[in-house]
Structures are given as C-alpha cells and as structure tokens.
A and B are shown apart, each in its own frame.
Chain A
C-alpha cells in the first residue's frame, strides 16, 4: 500500500537558519503530494501541494519539489522564524474521483529558537 516516510524529529534551529525536512513516498499510481502544518492546539492546515512530477509547491517561504525519480518531496525554507515552530506532516493522495484520501507521514516537530 501507499506509505510516506518522514525525517524523524525533533528538529531545533536558530532563527534565520535553513530548514530541510526530508520526505519520501511509496505509491502505486501517480499521487498528489502535500505538506500540512499543525500549530500547537490547532488542526492541520495545508501548507503547500504538488500534483505532478517536477511541480514545485510554495507558500509562506516554504518550498517543495515533486521528484518522481527519487520519490521525494522534501520541504525547505531559506530562513525560518520562531513562528514556524510546529509539526510538519508530509502526505500523499492516490485516490481518484470521490475516493481521494490522504496517507500521512509520522510528522516532524520543528522548534525555532530566537
């Protein structure tokens, strides 16, 4: 079945540091790929997505590129802020029509120190 493997955390960085969170996937079809973020006490929010190979998703300074050859979707940000502290989940959607579902990775806790 489909699966998502994320870099284990927690990750602690200083403000303005460069961030990379690795994500690789296994899927039988051609999935869409997502990064969701969960701030303390809140639900998951969509951060960015990519629907086909070589697409780059971006939002709030975060970027991720859909790499079919390496089955990866690594999350990057050039300069993190304290407000980026959260749990980040990589996910894929491999269903069609009304059966679209998300398969999540285990999440990576990010703490940014001032």
Chain B
C-alpha cells in the first residue's frame, strides 16, 4: 500500500514569513497526527484528527499554528508568522481508528532564518 505522503520535503523561510505543509495519509486511515521533531529531541504531538474533527490540539501554539483536514483525508499544517524556534521536522502520521500503530511520512524539514 502507498505510504503517508508529505510535501514539501524541505523549506527555508525567513522569520515572520508563512509556510504550509501538506499530508496525504494512508487510504482508509481515519486518524491523522502532526508531530514536531526538533533536532536532538523526540517527536512532540501538535494535533490529532479523527476524520475531519480535532481530537487533541492542546500542544498546538494556536497563535501561529493552524491545521485543517476539511474532507477527512488530506491535511494542511500552516505556520504564520514563523519564528526561529519553529525550525524542525514536521511529521505526519496516520492510523486506523482506535489502532495504536502509527505509520509516519518522511517529514517536512523547516529551517527558519
């Protein structure tokens, strides 16, 4: 089966600019996650969707980060305006509803200058 697709793989922007990342999960996976992985750290959950509804966004910095999954399939994560500390790899993952095994995409590496 096709894996979790993410784009772009790399993005370099200046602080205060905006950026958007796209994720296409595995077909049939109802649950979608966005994780932030800062260099040298483990991934940290930003937001979890179940179909097109938000299950948990408690760790999403809502003053600058937003995410949507309008049709319950693809998802977009946006950062506006970006800060230097947002430099990280943004990982998208998906799973079947209620499953505890996640499949991760290759990630989108963001560098904020």
B-binding residues in A (CB < 8 A): 4, 6, 32, 34, 36, 41-46, 49, 51, 89, 91, 93, 97-107
A43 surroundings in chain B (CB, below 8 A): 3-4, 91, 104-107
**How far is B44's CA from A4's CA once the two chains are assembled, in angstroms?**
12
Residue among A36, A44, A97, A105 making CB contact with B98, cutoff 8 Å: A97
Contacts of B101 in A (CB 8 A): 34, 46, 49
The contact size tier of chain B is: 20 to 34
For residue B43, which residue of chain A has the nearest CB? Answer: A104
Given the complex of chains A and B, what is the CA–CA distance between A36 and B100 in angstroms?
13
Tell me the nearest residue of chain B to A96, going by C-beta: B98
When the two chains form their complex, are residues B102 and A102 in contact, meaning their CB atoms are under 8 A apart?
yes
Contact A99 B56 (CB under 8 A): yes
In the complex where A43-B4, A43-B104, A43-B105 touch, is A100 in contact with B99 (Cβ < 8 A)?
A: yes
Contact with A100, one of B40, B43, B98, B105 (Cβ below 8 angstroms): B98
Q: Whole-angstrom distance between the alpha carbons of A89 and B103 in the complex?
A: 14
Given A98-B31, A99-B56: A104 in contact with B107 (beta carbons within 8 A)? no
Residues of B within 8 A of A105 (CB): 42
List, in ascending order, chain A residues with CB within 8 A of B91's CB.
43-44
